[in-house]
Chains A and B, each alone.
Chain A
Amino acid sequence: MSRISTLTKLIVSLAIILSCLMVSKALVALFELTIPASVLGLLLLFFLLNRGWIKKEQVTPSGNILLKYFPLFFIPSGVGIVEHIVLVQANLYLILTAVLAATLSTLLVVSQLASKLKVGQRD
């Protein structure tokens, strides 16, 4: 009995997440939006949770599994770097400089701004 209800919860939660994605895909196609459908789906699900129309417990059964194994879903895309080795070799210093400059400046700008705004430091 409990095994059946666990399975039902898994299927229902997966159906909710899938519906959010499908609705978003339709919206993106219909209005030719530049935002990725998956991110619109994220916002849609957040909106439904925040309004209380969907309870967190209704999406966590499959949601937590998807989040736990997240890396498995994009490791194959990363392996595609094998097709761009020549490009990486030719532009290694360019990439390193651009990315390191971005990381350092972001760390400094955001931490200084947050300190000025006293985020998390109010009485």
Chain B
Amino acid sequence: MIELLFFLLTPLLFFVFKQIQKVLNVTFANPILLSILVIAVGLYMGGGSYIQYQAANVPFTSLLELAIVALAIPLYNEFETIKKDFLNVLLCVCTGVITSSTVAITVAYLLGASDQLIATVAPNAVTTPIAITVATNLGGIAPLSAVIVICVGIVGAIIAIPLLTLFKSFNSASSGLAIGVACHAIGTARALEYNAAMGAYASTSLILSTVLTPLLLPAIFSIFKLVSGF
């Protein structure tokens, strides 16, 4: 009985929070974050077992890998628009992936974080499902990475455009690229609201970082381990 309740809880809460966000229309009311927090707090307060909840939700989690494969569809859609600028866009997104992970790893290391925590904050800029996969492979705490990533998206969606407009060089293409690689899907949704061009570059950059992060991060992580000796 409790299994069925745990199984229904995930979609039920998600769709309720999605409707609430549609009405409120504020970035902070992110349905993914709210669903995670409400279920987590519920389990914590009610003394429920996460293992039991997780087992009841296997039908959902087992589709994660298939959905990641399906990301090839938006990548294919975006590819037409960036073909002419492809190398420059690729260079920008690579730089973004390297910057976000290197800065997070270095700062965490300097503040005395454990290996496990360093691996957890490393994939902070990429879309949640990839962050979960990468954090697991690096030996980090995947659920914590997931929550960090969503918070980065929310904070980024709020501060990115006001921050970038401070610069004389502000334009839609470069801001879109920066937002897509630094603040993934939640930032991209905000960029789309600002204007279509910024949205298009943000989703291109989001999709490319989805592919590049799992390719680059293990290498960056190994290099850092070698240099710092942690």
Contact = CB atoms under 8 A, between A and B. Distances in A.
Interface of A: 14, 17-18, 20-21, 24, 34-39, 41-46, 49-50, 56, 59-60, 62-64, 66-67, 69-85, 87-88, 91, 94-95, 97-115, 117-122
Nearest to B197: A120
A21 B181 CA distance: 25
B24 interface: no
Interface string B67-83: 11111111111010000
Contacts of B96: 106, 109-110
Interface in B97-122: 99-101, 103-105, 107-108, 111-113, 117, 120-121
A77 B142 contact: yes
A71 B127 CA distance: 11
A76 B11 CA distance: 10
Contact of B218 (A34, A43, A97): A34
A84 B44 CA distance: 11
Interface string B1-33: 000000000110010000000000000000110
B50 to A, nearest CB: 5
A99 B92 CA distance: 20
Given A45-B73, A108-B163, 12 more contacts: A21-B65, A38-B65, A56-B73, A63-B70, A67-B71, A71-B128, A77-B143, A78-B32, A80-B54, A98-B108, A107-B164, A113-B91
A112 to B, nearest CB: 7
Main secondary structure of the interface of A (DSSP, over half): helix
A62 B66 CA distance: 10
A121 B99 contact: no
B214 A106 contact: no
A122 B173 CA distance: 11
B99 A46 contact: no
Interface string B37-72: 001100110000010011001001101111111111
A83 B177 CA distance: 35
A46 B89 CA distance: 18
B169 A111 contact: yes
Contact of B75 (A46, A94, A122): A46
